[in-house]
Amino acid sequence: MKILVFSSKSYDEQFLNASNQNSQHQLTFVPAQLDETTAALAKDHDAVCIFVNDRMNREVIDILVANGVKYVALRCAGFNQVDVAYAKECRLQLARVPAYSPHAVAEHAVGLLLALNRHLHKAYNRVREGNFELSGLMGFDLVGKTVTIVGTGRIGAVFAKIMHGFGCRLLAVDDYQHPDVRALGATYVSLNDALPQSDVISLHCPLTDATRHLINSETLAVLKKGVLIVNTGRGALVDTRALIEGLKSSVIGGLALDVYEEEEKLFFSDHSHEIIGDDVFMRLTTFPNVLITGHQAFFTNEALTQIAEVTMGNLASMESDGECANAL
């Protein structure tokens, strides 16, 4: 089958080509993001392979279908960027990679938390400039602190296990009570109950209509002063403008983001020679207690290997019998 890989980077080529070695698929890699202006590139391809910031709305779906595309392989877990209902109406078959090294994302979330709490991003720069002053670098012991995990699925459960290892008190917010998380002694509570008690909040739920702006100006009002918030889920789980107000008033003691609401205009590309026009993002970068990485939590060798193998497997099973265990 002929597959067009959108938003392709050198590492996508490397891992997808390696997984395709024993298959007959013809892979074409393009750096362009999928949107209304690029969808026609898929002309005469059976399948497209897309990533987190490729946009698959009605218009894009119509163009893909008109150009002969039958299968869509998402090389990611989240699928909020796709109008799944409309795609199915148009008889497109879709599959994703529901699980790939939850450790990759959970470990990155822990890394962000440690760096934020102990100001490692500032310390790194200070030492390089010969400044060994400690003022402004004070953190707090994590042992005994209350850590709230919003979404205790695959990634949240691994994050919970690591934080349990640090000796934290765990609160969990999720209608589904993960047995491993319960076994760690975590208490399942509502978000409203968790917010005033939390020293740390880490977001690991999917972006849906129900979770959009889960942390907003109303929730800010009940947060414990000085809370550290870590978001490796999806950018729009938080209302970024409200968080900026929370940082300005010091209600939020620190914010670590691997994802950002408007990230598709910025992330995965080099904008270092441009003037970045996103004032909200640029305001975030002015805070000493904000740490941002560009959606790299998944980016480990193990995760990329699994993503490529499952993606190629999904395409093979969609093509062979129209059935796929990872179908959307």
Spatial distance between the Cα atoms of 198 and 182, rounded to a whole number of angstroms: 18
Closer of 235 and 246 to ligand NAI (Cβ): 235
Closer of 119 and 234 to ligand NAI (Cβ): 234
Closer of 36 and 218 to ligand NAI (Cβ): 218
**Which among 87, 73, 55, 75 is positioned nearest to 1, based on CA atoms?**
73
Closest residue to ligand NAI in the complex (CB):
153
**Is residue 294 within the footprint of ligand NAI (CB under 6 A)?**
no
**Is residue 259 within the footprint of ligand NAI (CB under 6 A)?**
yes
CA distances to 107, 113, 149, 248, 278 from 110, in Å: 5, 5, 12, 24, 27
**Is residue 310 within the footprint of ligand NAI (CB under 6 A)?**
no
Q: How many CB atoms lie within 10 A of CB 26?
A: 12
Spatial distance between the Cα atoms of 247 and 267, rounded to a whole number of angstroms: 23
Q: Is 263 a catalytic residue?
A: yes
Nearest distance, CB of residue 81 and ligand NAI, angstroms: 10
Do residues 198 and 146 make contact, with C-beta atoms less than 8 angstroms apart?
A: yes
| 2-31 binders of ligand NAI (CB under 6 A) | none
| 144-163 binders of ligand NAI (CB under 6 A) | 150-156
- What region does 139 belong to: left with phi over 0, alpha with psi -120 to 50, or beta? beta
Q: Is 182 a catalytic residue?
A: no
**Is residue 75 within the footprint of ligand NAI (CB under 6 A)?**
no
**Which among 260, 229, 256, 297 is positioned nearest to 115, based on CA atoms?**
256
| 212-241 binders of ligand NAI (CB under 6 A) | 232-234
Q: Can you tell me whether residue 228 is helix, strand or coil?
A: strand
- Catalog residues that contact ligand NAI under the rule CB under 6 A: 77-78, 99, 102, 105, 150-156, 173-176, 204-207, 210-211, 232-234, 258-259, 295, 297-298
